[in-house]
């Protein structure tokens, strides 16, 4: 069958297996190329490379990049968990399902332990299965990466399904939306969330589930001494705060950041520690749906590419491992104890230039002033389309 992209607004509803596979292999190639520098950083700091990494949300975006760095740059055994749609009669799977398959194949070929589970990470069954497999295969995780992004979470204790909202709090938000296919700009208004919606969002994207995971793993004795757990967050520039940082999702991220203290207490006896890492804005399936983000990210990419400091998920994951986890002394953090990988994005010159580009793009040449083409390509590639070297006219026999 020939697979063409099916894009509806900011969502692509299908995926290309070959494109996903080629892209995963490209990410792996970049991780392999960083292997020597990772070993050097480990030698210089005296910190060991990770031996066993659990990645929750392993199939796409930051989770996949982290798993790739752990396995192919550091040689770690990896267990990955994600919730992806399998292929069904004539219908391709979701991109993460193909990414996982490609990852497992490559890991196997490289002689690396890799176990991928397609389960609801919020369920107690998923925790029990990871623990069962870890015991069976003699794994003790020295790293747990928490990279879930989801609109819903079913509470395992109550059975209640919570839904997250992406809304401002207190007052309506009005911002510029960018149609990534046509380049058209429009004004979007989002009504503020009520108290209940804010609480629901915290239940989905806050730290409750992260804590359940770490407590379960510690109780089951499948964490290594000195283990490190990290969850990903985003801050962004001030003009996005009304919809992001000061909105419902920001409340959830604040909760995630507070959970670090709880986890540090829970991991104390093991000599373990928890961190939130504030990452850079990139194009993933999750980020494309946030109002104002496509215009901001397109302008940001143009600025950072011009300055030669643009990074994608893999660059960020490699920097996290090499220059944060394996840094000499402690892991470098900001005043609030957070790892910062958004340091280049939030540089004064980067933000000044990005804001200028956004302002000018409102009245003129959006394709020239921003990297809309790059945004669009990253979005398509996140679904296996637009990947160089793939023959999209060829028949795909294995779905």
296 a catalytic residue:
no
Min dist CB 321 to ligand NAD, Å, is: 16
Both tokens of 333, joined, read: 């953090």
Min dist CB 45 to ligand NAD, Å, is: 25
For residue 82, the cross-strand partners are 118
Both tokens of 151, joined, read: 């609109």
Of 244, 275, 296, 321, catalytic: 244
Using the minimum distance from each CB to ligand NAD, give the nearer residue, 223 or 256.
Answer: 256
Separation of CA 278 from chain center: 11
Q: Does position 79 bind ligand NAD by CB under 6 A? A: no
- Concatenated DSSP letters for 305-344? HHHT----HHHHHHHIIIIIIT-SSSPP--TTS-EES-TT
- Other CB atoms closer than 10 Å to residue 41's CB: what's the count? 19
Region from 1-9, 59-67, 105-113, 187-195 binding ligand NAD, contact rule CB under 6 A: 59-67
Site string for ligand NAD, 253-292 (x = CB under 6 A): --------------------------x-xx-xxxx-----
Min dist CB 357 to ligand NAD, Å, is: 18
Q: Does position 237 bind ligand NAD by CB under 6 A? A: no
Q: How far apart are CA 156 and CA 7, in angstroms?
A: 34
- Concatenated DSSP letters for 215-281? HHHHHTT-EEEEEEEEEEE----GGGTTTTTTSHHHHHHHHHHHHHHHHHHHTGGGT-EEEEEEPPP
Site string for ligand NAD, 92-121 (x = CB under 6 A): ----x-----------------------xx
Region from 132-140, 148-156, 176-184, 353-361 binding ligand NAD, contact rule CB under 6 A: 148-156
* Total residues at interface with ligand NAD (CB under 6 A): 29
Q: How far apart are CA 225 and CA 237, in angstroms?
A: 37
Site residues, ligand NAD (CB under 6 A)? 57-63, 81-84, 96, 120-122, 147-150, 232-234, 279, 281-282, 284-287
**Which positions are annotated as active-site residues?**
244
């Amino acid at each position: 069958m020939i697979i063409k992209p099916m894009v509806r607004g900011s969502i692509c509803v299908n995926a290309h297996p070959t494109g996903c596979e080629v892209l995963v292999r490209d990410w792996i190639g970049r991780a392999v190329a960083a292997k020597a520098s990772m070993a050097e950083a480990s030698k210089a700091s005296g910190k060991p490379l990770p031996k066993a990494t659990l990645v929750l949300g392993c199939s796409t975006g930051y989770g996949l990049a982290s798993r790739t760095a752990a396995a192919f740059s550091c040689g770690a055994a990896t267990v990955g968990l994600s919730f992806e749609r399998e292929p069904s009669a004539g219908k391709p799977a979701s991109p993460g399902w193909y990414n996982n398959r490609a990852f497992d194949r490559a890991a196997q070929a490289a002689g690396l332990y890799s176990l991928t589970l397609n389960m609801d990470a919020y369920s107690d069954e998923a925790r029990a299965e990871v623990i069962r497999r870890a015991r069976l295969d003699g794994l003790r995780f020295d790293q747990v990466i928490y990279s879930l992004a989801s609109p819903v979470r079913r509470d395992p204790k109550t059975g209640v399904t919570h839904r997250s909202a992406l809304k401002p709090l207190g007052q309506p938000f009005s911002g510029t939306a960018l149609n990534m296919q046509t380049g058209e700009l429009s004004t979007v208004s989002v009504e503020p969330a009520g108290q209940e919606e804010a609480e629901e969002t915290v239940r989905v994207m806050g730290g409750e589930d992260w804590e359940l995971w770490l407590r379960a793993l510690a109780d089951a004795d499948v964490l290594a001494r000195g283990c490190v757990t990290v969850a990903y967050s985003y801050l962004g520039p001030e003009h996005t705060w009304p919809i992001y940082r000061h909105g419902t999702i920001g409340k959830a991220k604040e909760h995630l950041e507070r959970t670090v203290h709880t986890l540090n207490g829970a991991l104390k006896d093991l000599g373990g520690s928890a961190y939130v890492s504030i990452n850079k804005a990139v194009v993933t399936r999750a980020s494309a749906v946030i109002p104002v983000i496509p215009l901001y990210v397109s302008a940001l990419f143009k600025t950072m590419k011009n300055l030669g400091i643009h990074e994608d998920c893999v660059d960020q994951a490699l920097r996290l491992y090499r220059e944060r986890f394996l840094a000499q002394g402690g892991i470098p953090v900001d005043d609030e104890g957070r790892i910062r990988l958004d340091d280049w994005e939030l540089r004064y010159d980067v933000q000044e230039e990005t804001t200028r580009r956004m302002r000018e793009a409102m009245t003129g040449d959006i394709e020239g002033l921003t990297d809309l083409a790059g945004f669009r390509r990253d979005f398509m590639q996140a679904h296996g389309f637009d990947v160089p070297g793939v023959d999209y006219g060829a028949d795909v026999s294995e779905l």
